[in-house]
Amino acid sequence: MECKDILNLIAIIVIPIAAVLIGQQLQNRAEIRKDKMQIFKTLMTSRIYGWTPESVNCLNIIDIVFADDKTVREAWKDLYDKYCVQNPNEAQLKKIQNAQYKLLETMANSLGYKNKVTWETIQNPYVPDGMIKQWKEQAESQQAYNALLNTMANIVPSEHENTEAQK
């Protein structure tokens, strides 16, 4: 067997295996980037709503998905430490908000959006006036509903009171 034949045989065996391994590696990297983007998008969109189940889930998997990014994990740790303050005052709430924005900025930089997603962009989400009005109306309706339930609870005697009255 000639050297040329040996090289051809090696190429026939090695090239498909290398292609599969390289393809798998590229697919894994794309999946990780997709997960990072999902976390970033969820946190960016939920910054106007406050807590959502999706945003809490995203915060809880940052250490896994961004395991290869020390700066993002440090920004998350800083935010987490600020979240752990019991009954935060106004100054502490402002620190929490700044830490949230810093986490988003750090993620944006990690994802290649440096100078594209700016601090100003992060701090100024779009919230239409109609949505704010709807939130206020919903809160007022909830308060009215709670007041009605409390009034009804005071009017209708409890089962324990009925039993005591019958004795």
Provide the token pair at 94: 């402002």
Say if residue 164's pLDDT is above 70: no
Q: Is residue 165 part of a domain?
A: no
Provide the token pair at 119: 């601090």
Q: Report pTM.
A: 0.71
Q: Is residue 160 part of a domain?
A: no
Q: What is the pLDDT of residue 160?
A: 57
Helix (H) or strand (E) holding 46: helix 3-46
Q: What is the pLDDT of residue 20?
A: 87
104 vs 111: CA distance, rounded Å: 10
Q: What is the pLDDT of residues 143-161, one digit of tens each?
A: 988 888 888 888 876 665 6
Number of domains observed in the structure of the chain: 1
Q: Is residue 8 part of a domain?
A: yes
The whole domain housing 68 covers 3-149
Q: What is the DSSP string of 55-76?
A: HHHHHHTHHHHTTT-HHHHHHH
Q: Is residue 19 part of a domain?
A: yes
114 vs 98: CA distance, rounded Å: 18
Q: Is residue 158 part of a domain?
A: no
Residue pair 122/101 in contact (Cβ under 8 Å)? The answer is yes
Q: What is the pLDDT of residues 83-138, one digit of tens each?
A: 999 999 999 999 999 999 999 999 999 999 988 888 888 888 887 888 778 878 88
Q: Is residue 141 part of a domain?
A: yes
Q: What is the pLDDT of residues 22-72, one digit of tens each?
A: 999 988 888 999 999 999 999 999 888 778 899 999 999 999 999 999 999
54 vs 162: CA distance, rounded Å: 45
Q: Is residue 27 part of a domain?
A: yes
Residue pair 72/107 in contact (Cβ under 8 Å)? The answer is yes
Q: Is residue 167 part of a domain?
A: no
